[in-house]
Amino acid sequence: MSKLRFGVFLAPFHTAGQNPTLALHRDLELIQHLDALGYDEAWIGEHHSAGSELIASPEIFIAAAAERTRHIRLGTGVISLAYHNPLWVADRMVLLDHLTRGRVMLGVGPGSLPTDSAMIGLNPTETRELLDENLDIVLRLLRGEAVTARTRTHNLVDARLQLRPYSDPLFDVAVAAVASPTGPRLAGRHGIGLLSIGATLTAESFDALGHHWGIATERAEAFGTEVDREAWRLVGLMHVAETREQAYRDVEHGIADWFEYFQKIAAFPQMHVSGGDVGEMIAFIRDSGVGVIGTPEDAAEQVQRLVGQSGGFGAMLLMAHEWANPAATKRSYELIAQHVLPAFQGQAQSTLDAKARASATREGHAQAQHDAVAHMAKKYEAERA
């Protein structure tokens, strides 16, 4: 595998009742911060209900973020494909591909909040079936095909795109996976990337990583496509500080609100979390392996465990949250960029090796430097005499 990419998966999660304008601009500031720190990717979610995940259109958010950043790639994480006309999804993504000059990525899924799909008369089974149908249509359109197709929600008649993508031949496309095999099966069938949002949610999902990749490769073989581990992205939870004790104090700010959302509001059983008070919540994250609340060393160990458990993947995405206040949250991303990224991107060992070489030969070099100074001093004195 080449160097591991790092990024963020921004649903986002904000405590209901806060100023939503400030929350959304905090999200934009976070993307700018990550861009400055050298993170590779940011994936932006789509949600329409439940009061916490506030971004209704990842495409609009990406357009705003692209104007504020220079390098970071921006993906839809994810467009709930069942909610949309697949023609317009493809058309908007091609537009973004041109506006960002190739920094856009398309992530799709069925939609995680049943309160979203219920408002347009769809149940969770229908959204998964529509994901399958609409993804096929989107990919055909992006390949330049004319499509005539009828789904239960839309009718396309000789539909085609008027623009070709800016990216050659196409921007990255990935499908979300949490617990079911739906995502890996679609990734394998179409030869596209996999977004494992449930990479560390439970011990079972942690252990299932290799199994899910096996499903993707089996389906790829059956359909004559190829899947690439470089296009496999794992999503996990982290907050780090200089010490574990500081990290524990940091997350007292907002971890209870995050737990309440998944325990009592979002009907998303794959995100079941346990804990009655803040101490129990921290212990659950720490002891279950679901995430890291600790130091950069703890974060590096978690990434290494995921590499070993999965057999290798292309990108580690940190699930964005507001467990800590904004300053501590930004500091966490800084510490990960400073101490974790280099270890997995080939930048740490060369400086450690250079330090070791200099240390091993220091005594001889120091003596040579001393002798050179003494020699020049004697020469100078001799010239004065």
User: Are the CB atoms for 28 and 12 separated by under 8 Å?
Assistant: no
Residue 241 vs residues 78, 130, 322, 334: alpha-carbon distances, Å = 29, 43, 14, 10
d(CA 308, CA 327): 33
CATH for 128: 3.20.20.30
On whether both 329 and 384 belong to a single domain, the answer is no
Whether 175 and 235 map to the same domain: the answer is yes
Asked whether residue 16 falls in the same domain as residue 81, the answer is yes
* In a shared domain, residues 294 and 222: yes
> 142 and 22, same structural domain?
yes
- The encoded tokens of residue 165 equal 């993508």
State both tokens at 50.
């439940």
The confidence score (pLDDT) of residue 271 equals 66
Does the pLDDT of residue 127 top 90, yes or no? yes
* Residue 204 predicted with pLDDT over 70: no
Domain count, the chain: 2
The pLDDT of residue 220: 98
Rounded to an integer, the average pLDDT of 329-356 is: 94
How much is the pLDDT for 66? 98
Distance CA 385, CA 381 (A): 6
pLDDT bucket at 348, cuts 50 / 70 / 90: confident
pTM, 2 dp: 0.93
Distances in Å between the alpha carbon of 98 and those of 68, 71, 72, 116, 170?
16, 15, 15, 30, 11
**Residue 46: CB atoms within 10 Å:** 27
The 10s digit of each residue's pLDDT in 39-52 is: 999 999 999 999 99
- From CA 80, how far away is CA 109, in angstroms rounded? 5
Q: Which of 345, 336, 344, 322 is nearest to 30 (CA)?
A: 322
How confident is the prediction for the chain on average, in pLDDT? 94
Q: Based on the fold, state whether residues 311 and 336 are members of the same structural domain.
A: yes
1 pLDDT above the threshold of 60: no
Same domain, 13 and 48: yes
User: Is residue 37 within 8 Å of residue 337, measured between CB atoms?
Assistant: yes
Q: What are all long-range contacts of 116-124, with beta carbons under 8 Å and residues at least 24 apart?
A: 116/47, 116/48, 116/49, 116/80, 116/83, 117/80, 117/82, 117/83, 119/48, 119/49, 120/83, 122/82, 122/83
In a shared domain, residues 198 and 118: yes
pLDDT of 270 above 90: no
Q: Name the residue range of residue 271's domain.
A: 5-347
385 plus 289 within the same structural domain: no
Q: Are 175 and 50 part of one and the same domain?
A: yes
> How far is it, in rounded angstroms, from Cα 179 to Cα 209?
10
Q: Among 58-67, 172-181, 345-354, 355-364, name the most confident range.
A: 58-67
Nearest to 4 by CA among 288, 348, 277: 348
State how far the Cα of 117 lies from the Cα of 48, in Å rounded to an integer.
9
- Co-location of 317 and 217 in the same domain: yes
Integer CA distances (angstroms), 67 to 28, 70, 167, 351, in order: 10, 8, 18, 35
Res 344 pLDDT > 90: yes
Q: Are residues 42 and 189 in the same domain?
A: yes
Of residues 365 and 161, the one with the higher pLDDT is 161
Angle (deg, nearest 10), helices 182-190 and 209-223:
40
